Structure 1
Amino acid sequence: MKTALIFGINGMDGKTLALLLLGKGYRVVGTYRRTTININELHNQVFDCSENIFFEYCDITDEKSVEKLFLDENYSFEEIYLLAAQSHVGDSFNSPVSTFITNSLPIHYVCNCVKKYQPNSKIYLALTSELFGGQHENPCNEKDIFQCRSPYSIGKEAAWRWAEYYRQQGVFVSCGILFNHSNVFRGDSFFISKVTKGAAEIALGSRKNIVLGPYLDFTRDEHWSDFGCDAMWNMLQQPNPDDFVIANGKDHRGTEYLEIAFDYFNLGDWKKYVVQDQKFSRPNEVQRLVGDSSKAQKILNWVPNRIPFEDHISLMCQYHYLKLKSENVKIPNVFDLYPV
């Protein structure tokens, strides 16, 4: 039985990837931080009390805390997924230094531990489409120049440079540049959840409006997280480490998210329910992010646009609606719903 270590088990991708790996017969070790919700609740509600998942506290900004995992005689990791990060772009402008530390140093600690203690381990590093800064006219691929426009992306670029540094020393580190992705685990503070959950709450009569930022004409290339996590796993099945863009290649306006969600609940014009607040604005707005996943399609057999965008929004609306009604709601199995 292979053992995988996931840094950031309580995040959207952490939960999604862990479920995927458990389904593949892995033993999973997931790290959490002090502020994480009750671990027993996470184990019971998300992972159905699986006997093959284990939880360990780790402060990813503390080298000794990271090293402790690799010195634990109970564990030997074939695969390591570094997903933990400060993942809110907007928050990074208020805390640039702590964001940079959180997003750049952990990969150095992890790679150094692998080099010293478990040199056969393979590492996946989660990067971000924010690296491209929305300044490219054509869809972005692995050869495009990074043009960071936030402390969040600056930290991620530094992490990528650490990965390059350790690759030169023989450490297997593959980097995933995933464009926007989401599923029902996406946190409430993210735009797509504000829209889909907010529309569900309005439909149920539990709220009157949702508050969003002043700029809704941005466009994003959005895929379902389960497919992105499968691509992460696939990167570590390759003989050599590399960088991969994971994207659909189609962008959708922020207003399109709203139109689909409010139409799903037959609420009419979304403008009647949306309050725009300047406090959610960013110093450097990234207008358009679209990815070119040709390389991943060729090497990883990545399938873009596997789930139509309207279905993506509708599935999230349906899930939030049923969960808010306290009904027994299952996580959508998109691999069965949208087979290749």
Structure 2
Amino acid sequence: MTRAFITGIGGQDGSYLAEQLVAEGVEVHALAHAIEPLPDAPGVELHSGDLTDVDDVRSLLIDLAPDEVYNLAAMSSVARSWEKPDLTAQVNGMAAAALLESALLVQEKLDRPVRFVQASSAEIFGQPDRSPQDESTPVRPLNPYGAAKAYAHLMVEVYRRRGLHAVSAILYNHESPRRPEQFVTRKITSTVASIARGRADVLTLGNLDARRDWGWAPDYVDAMVRAARADQATDYVVATGVAHSVRDFVAAAFAQAGITDWEDLVVVDQEFVRPADPTELVGNATRARRLLGWSPTVGFDEVVQHMVEADLAAG
């Protein structure tokens, strides 16, 4: 039986990944942050710990000896990375490098392959020189989150050259009802639902013109599993190839809630505008389509629909 180890089990992607692997019959172990409540993860054996505690996590990984390692743990908010750049560097960068070393130690000790997937981000490209971006786009991040992710991304190549089946999945924005409300997409859908129910008056946002490539989180998790099990290890952009503005997302959310005249319900506050924000990120996932047989199954409007429906149903 395949044994997998997941970090970031408490997040959107970690929960979907665990569900997919358990459904496949994989023995799933996960690192749950020691200071947070244990997540609800049926079929998963949880191990309490802190990813930045290198020695403890390394001992755990060597003891478990997994076949697959998925590093999804991260300080996942770009905005928060400006507030805590040092912690972002430790969690998103240094801890990922340590986990790569631990996976290689397991491989060398047991003399069998260990497959490693690093959840990277389109934020590593910063203000890209081309659109859409692919795996050859220069890495030049604009914020602490992207810089830390870029370090981990580059370390994947270092360990791949050392013989580890290491993959960097360059994930573009991907959403679901499991997104925490500090993310702009979930803030939009939850607030729109509150407005529709008469419990809120306005939606306050930052840059409405920022454009992102938004997909469906379970699709992106599936891409990571395919990448782990591919014959050759390489990096993959995981994206839909279509960009929409924050304004588009807002309009789609209000439309789903049955509100067509929404402009006066949205307030732009400069407090929510990031110090440096890429104007457009859109990915070219040709390699993933060609080598992994992967393609997105849920379009932009459906993503927004699922999120608004979930927030409306939450009451």
Question: Shorter-chain-normalised TM-score: which range?
Answer: over 0.9
Matching residue's letter, 1:60: L
Tell me if the contact between 2:203 and 2:266 (Cα under 8 Å) persists in the aligned partners.
Answer: yes
| Matched residue, 1:329 | none
* The one of 150, 154, 175 aligned to 2:168: 175
Q: CA deviation at 1:107?
A: 2.1
Matches within 5 A, 1:28-43: 28-37=28-37, 39=38, 42-43=39-40
1:126 aligns with 2:115: no
- Taking structure 2 as the reference length, what is the TM-score of the superposition? 0.95
Matches within 5 A, 1:191-202: 191-202=184-195
- Cα offsets for 1:48-106 (capped at 9, x unmatched): xx3x311111211121121131243xx23111000001111111112222211211112
Q: CA deviation at 1:269?
A: 2.5
Matches within 5 A, 1:1-340: 1-37=1-37, 39=38, 42-43=39-40, 47=41, 50=42, 52-72=43-63, 75-119=64-108, 120-213=113-206, 215-304=207-296, 306-323=297-314, 325=315
Tell me if the contact between 1:246 and 1:293 (Cα under 8 Å) persists in the aligned partners.
Answer: yes
- Taking structure 1 as the reference length, what is the TM-score of the superposition? 0.88
Q: CA deviation at 1:273?
A: 1.9
Q: CA deviation at 1:136?
A: 2.8
Tell me if the contact between 2:78 and 2:143 (Cα under 8 Å) persists in the aligned partners.
Answer: yes
What SS is found at the alignment partner of 1:138?
coil
What SS is found at the alignment partner of 2:304?
helix
Matching residue's letter, 1:23: A
d(CA) in 1 for partners of 2:61, 2:71: 14
d(CA) in 2 for partners of 1:123, 1:234: 12
Q: CA deviation at 1:32?
A: 1.5
Question: Gapped runs of 5+ residues in structure 1?
Answer: 326-340
- Cα offsets for 1:128-179 (capped at 9, x unmatched): 0011113334200001111210011111111122211111211111110011
Q: What is the total number of aligned residue pairs between the two structures?
A: 311
Q: CA deviation at 1:271?
A: 2.2
Task: Using the TM superposition, name which of 146-155 and 107-116 deviates more.
Answer: 107-116
Tell me if the contact between 1:66 and 1:109 (Cα under 8 Å) persists in the aligned partners.
Answer: no
Q: CA deviation at 1:118?
A: 3.5
d(CA) in 2 for partners of 1:220, 1:182: 12
Matching residue's letter, 2:21: L
Q: Where has structure 1 moved over 4 Å in runs of 4 or more?
A: none
Tell me if the contact between 1:133 and 1:148 (Cα under 8 Å) persists in the aligned partners.
Answer: yes
Tell me if the contact between 2:128 and 2:138 (Cα under 8 Å) persists in the aligned partners.
Answer: no
d(CA) in 1 for partners of 2:62, 2:104: 13
Question: Gapped runs of 5+ residues in structure 2?
Answer: none
- Cα offsets for 1:248-269 (capped at 9, x unmatched): 1110011111111111112232
- Cα offsets for 1:278-298 (capped at 9, x unmatched): 221211111100101111110
Tell me if the contact between 2:62 and 2:105 (Cα under 8 Å) persists in the aligned partners.
Answer: no
d(CA) in 1 for partners of 2:36, 2:223: 26
Matching residue's letter, 2:313: L
Tell me if the contact between 1:77 and 1:118 (Cα under 8 Å) persists in the aligned partners.
Answer: no
Matching residue's letter, 1:89: V
d(CA) in 2 for partners of 1:185, 1:61: 25
